[in-house]
Amino acid sequence: MGAYILRRLLLMIPTIVGIMAISFTIVQFAPGGPVEQVIAQLTGQGDNATGRLSGGTDMLAQQSLDDSSSKYRGAQGLDPELIAKLDKQFGFDKPPLERFGRMMWNYIRFDFGESFFRNTSVIDLIAEKLPVSISLGIWILIFSYAISIPLGIRKAVQDGSTFDVWTSGIIIIGYAVPSFLFGIMLIVLFAGGSFFDWFPLRGLVSDNFADLSWWQKILDYLWHLVLPLISLSLAAFATTTLLTKNSFIEEIKKQYVITARAKGLSERRVLYGHVFRNAMLIVIAGFPGAFISAFFTGSLLIENIFSLDGLGRLSYLSVVQRDYPVVFATLFIFSLLGLVVSLVSDLIYTWIDPRIDFERRDV
């Protein structure tokens, strides 16, 4: 197992480099980079850039040089010295290969630099937004596993019954409806839209949160989480329920279950003493992946709809503003976490079922 883990760890290096290289190459051809964002602000053509310029926005050249050969769209009429200064500030005065190599060297040391358009480091930005994503992720996992596993087991035991049919219909409808659409519907119904005004529309806490007692803070926090969690839990709830049901149905049909029943064991003893461990193998082994994906995926639109300032919204705004340090840092961190979690999932497989031996398989 040690050799397998070492091989997987070594394979992470070219995988990460490949992911970053492809993304870096695509970005080189994407229009509207950070320099063009600042140029748009200077020329009054846009307001996306906040302009973290050491010389201020008053450096707009008064000489109309009409540099028609400028490599940036909209830079005609600006002082070439200003364009050169912007290139140097954002690091575009270096060749792409050198910039990529320097970026990867810094990332290996977990030095993610500073945001282009926010006066703070990238790691501080991520740490600032992380609590919101953690709150959503943890509660989504609790709800999806606490409800889906018992429901999936009951559906497997009563396969084909009326209960199984109507719950399957509800699950399929819930899975088919996009979470953001369901979130908008909940806002319209319960957050001061056209009907009831029972829940808050934005944020994780109220404006007077600091003045509340400890139990009021807990209630206020949970009150703000109700609608976002319901919206986000639909897809995870459906997937885990059906996965649990199918796993149990497959195990129930095996010979060892028939033998256990023939020995006179109760149905509960057969189900939870014999079937449960084998049936839950794929569900439990997928827990690390679900844990990470609950933090970093699927929450972008929900965070925007409910004005939750988490990692999903940070990534989206960074892409829009072409804040490349934040974009590449989050990509690097998420990719690294994804690879590590994939390895952890495999190790959990071997821990739950010792019959699985990755040492005998080619990586």
Quote the CA–CA distance of 50 and 10 in Å, as a whole number.
41
Domain shared by 82 and 215, yes or no? no
| CATH number of the domain bearing residue 179 | 1.10.3720.10
Structural domain that includes position 288: 123-360
Is 118 within 8 Å of 323 (Cβ atoms)? yes
Give the pLDDT score at 54: 40
Phi-psi region of 212 (alpha: psi -120 to 50; beta: other; left: phi over 0): beta
Domain shared by 171 and 75, yes or no? no
Residue with tokens 């995870």: 236
At residue 78's C-alpha, the angle toward residues 75 and 83, to 5°, is 70
Low-confidence ranges of the chain (pLDDT < 50): 47-69, 362-363
- Tell me whether residue 318 is in a domain: yes
Give the pLDDT score at 63: 37
Quote the CA–CA distance of 280 and 314 in Å, as a whole number.
35
Last residue of a domain, one of 111, 133, 155: 111
List, in sequence order, every residue forming a beta bridge with 114; answer none if it has no partner.
Answer: 121
- Tell me whether residue 2 is in a domain: no
Give the pLDDT score at 340: 86
How confident is the model over 211-254, as pLDDT tens digits?
A: 888 888 888 888 888 888 888 777 677 778 888 888 888 888 88
Q: Which residues contact 258 (CB under 8 A, 6 or more apart)?
A: none
Is 40 within 8 Å of 49 (Cβ atoms)? yes
Domain shared by 246 and 285, yes or no? yes
How confident is the model over 282-327, as pLDDT tens digits?
A: 777 666 666 666 666 556 677 777 878 788 788 888 888 888 888 8
Is 231 within 8 Å of 308 (Cβ atoms)? no
Q: Distance from CA of residue 145 to its chain's centroid?
A: 18
Domain shared by 353 and 252, yes or no? yes
The H or E element that residue 80 is part of is helix 80-90
Is 294 within 8 Å of 228 (Cβ atoms)? no
